[in-house]
Structure 1
Amino acid sequence: MTNEPEPAKRPVSAVLAGPYGHPFHPILVTVPIGAWVSSLVFDIGSRIVGEPGFLARGSVWLIAIGVVGAVAAALIGTLDLLAIPAGTPAFRTGLTHMSLNLVVTAAYVAGFFWRRAAGSGPGPVGAGPLVLSAAALVVLGASGYLGGKLAYRYGVRVAAESTQAEGFRSAARQRS
């Protein structure tokens, strides 16, 4: 039996990317996902409520928070990608995952500046920025599917099954 997949399970740098079996990338991605989903909720809300200005302004802040979080997640995710052997299906999936995330982040950066150029008046978020955010979230969902494939199908940065089995041994079996 060969240990070829092992490099993709071990961090390039445990200090930067997280220790074996506990990567930081999945923790960090919750920031942009949460911020960007919330920004879309604020966008939609701004088109429903009587005084939408606070929601439109809040959405811009959430987009900015998401972009900062995405940059942090991308830096750590790149370290995880570097641990995957090149030329493998997992590496190609990782490149696609990264590329889609870069497109999504660029869309949100563009949306941020579009909204800033439009001004932060008392009105609702315009249809164009709202559609851009919704489309970016759809692409983010596709990228998230690929991220799940990397972890759950290919086991990238997931502890080896022998390590995982330790969590399922009863106390009596562990003492033996």
Structure 2
Amino acid sequence: MTVHSELRDPRQAKQPVSGALAGPYGHPFHPILVTVPIGAWVSSLVFDIASRIVDRPGFLAHGSAWLIAIGAIGALVAACVGFLDLFAIPTGTPAFRTALVHMALNLAVTAAYAAGFAWRQSDGYPEGQGVGAGQLALSAVALAALGLSGYLGGKLAYRYGVRVAEESVQAEGYRTGPA
């Protein structure tokens, strides 16, 4: 019994659906935009941990909530651009399936942080108290899931070459002598 496997043209995933919205060829916007939620959410976890250590943790608890909100807004912007990149990947391929898992994880992480933000708002910020253990745990689990999703995003770019320039274009950077 032979299994027939169709090879889809990988060059399709290198071109943007819309260069104006998703970034021009070889310069996708999605990897740039994801630095905002990643940085905000990592920093929020640092603030959460610090709020349980210092004597007057109120400013850290407030700062962490702001960082979570900034991260959620940044994640929504990055998701819109990432969704455009998803449209460029041929369906039925390992790259497309990886992209769907990457997207689902990111949406779950964003939902978890949004829920964590709402939880913090409903609790208020009692003076002299750090972030609750449950809130800290939620942030830590969400950040771990974000790490897994980032691994999949790296796989999309570095293994499958999604939105990465063709090797012939990349070779221009390795020529010696006059251009």
Q: What is the CA-CA distance between 1:3 and the residue it aligns to?
A: 8.1
Unaligned runs of 5+ in 2: 1-6
What residue is the counterpart of 2:138 in the other structure?
132
C-alpha displacement of 1:121: 2.1
**Number of residue pairs matched by the alignment:** 172
Code of the residue aligned with 1:158 in structure 2: it is V
% same residue: 72
2:37 corresponding residue in structure 1 = 32
User: Is the CA contact (8 Å cut-off) linking 2:8 and 2:90 kept in structure 1?
Assistant: no
- Rounded to whole Å, the distance in 2 between the matches of 1:145 and 1:56 is 29
Deviations 1:123-151 (A, max 9, x none): 10000010000000000000000000000
Gaps of 5+ in 1: none
TM-score of the pair, normalised by structure 1: 0.96
Q: Which residue of 2 aligns with 1:42?
A: 47
Aligned amino acid, residue 118 of structure 1 = D
State the TM-score, normalized to the length of structure 2: 0.94
Greater than 4 Å deviation, 4+ residue runs: none
Kept in 1, the 8 Å contact 2:48–2:60? The answer is: yes
1:37-86 per-position Cα deviation (integer Å, ceiling 9, x unaligned): 00000000000000000000000000000000000000000000000000
Which residue does the alignment assign to 2:126?
Answer: 121
Counterpart in the other structure of 2:98: 93
The Cα RMSD (Å) is: 1.1
Tell me if the contact between 2:102 and 2:152 (Cα under 8 Å) persists in the aligned partners: yes
- The 2-side partners of 1:143 and 1:164 are apart by 26
Corresponding position of 2:162: 156
Residues of 2 paired with 1:26 and 1:166: CA distance?
22
